[in-house]
Amino acid sequence: MTDAKSRIDETVKANDVVLFMKGTKEMPQCGFSSRVAGVLNYMGIDYADVNVLSDDEIRQGIKDYSDWPTIPQLYIKGEFVGGCDIITEMTLSGELDTMFEDNGVAYDKDAANKIREANA
């Protein structure tokens, strides 16, 4: 499992934003992954997607790496942020915007506001 851990660590450190998910950002393969990818895509975030379904070592390894039992998992600047419910809450509260701003990650503020308006 150390190989998976080192690959995960390299991916998380080499990219400003990483989403470990079931499927890809173009074709998510579960509802939770689809929701998080949809938010990131809509907000115009440049992020790396890692399809855990294509690699069993990564699928289990990411859970061990973060000590978080579910997928998807979002990382910003090497920091584990959370899964679907947390990302949804952070998006609606504006906390995700702040995290992107604090970390110098470009995003579409108007799109973020539209998400909040649609869910108000």
Q: What is the CATH number of the domain that holds 77?
A: 3.40.30.10
* pLDDT under 50: residue ranges of the chain: 1
Q: Per the domain annotation, does 119 fall within a domain?
A: no
Q: How much is the pLDDT for 94?
A: 97
Q: How much is the pLDDT for 55?
A: 94
Backbone angles phi, psi at 51, to 5 degrees: -85, 105
Q: How much is the pLDDT for 72?
A: 98
Does the pTM of the predicted model rise above 0.75? yes
* pLDDT tens-place string over residues 2-11: 799 999 999 9
Q: Per the domain annotation, does 21 fall within a domain?
A: yes
* pLDDT tens-place string over residues 101-110: 999 999 999 9
Strand 17-21 with 48-51, pairing: parallel
Instruction: Give the SS3 label for residue 38.
Output: helix
Q: Which run of H or of E encompasses 75?
A: strand 73-76
Q: Per the domain annotation, does 118 fall within a domain?
A: no
Q: How much is the pLDDT for 85?
A: 96
Q: Into how many domains does the chain fold?
A: 1
Q: Per the domain annotation, does 12 fall within a domain?
A: yes
Q: Per the domain annotation, does 7 fall within a domain?
A: yes
Q: Per the domain annotation, does 120 fall within a domain?
A: no
* Tokens found for residue 120: 């108000």
Q: Which residue range forms the structural domain that includes residue 28?
A: 2-113
Whether residue 30 is annotated as binding a ligand: the answer is: yes
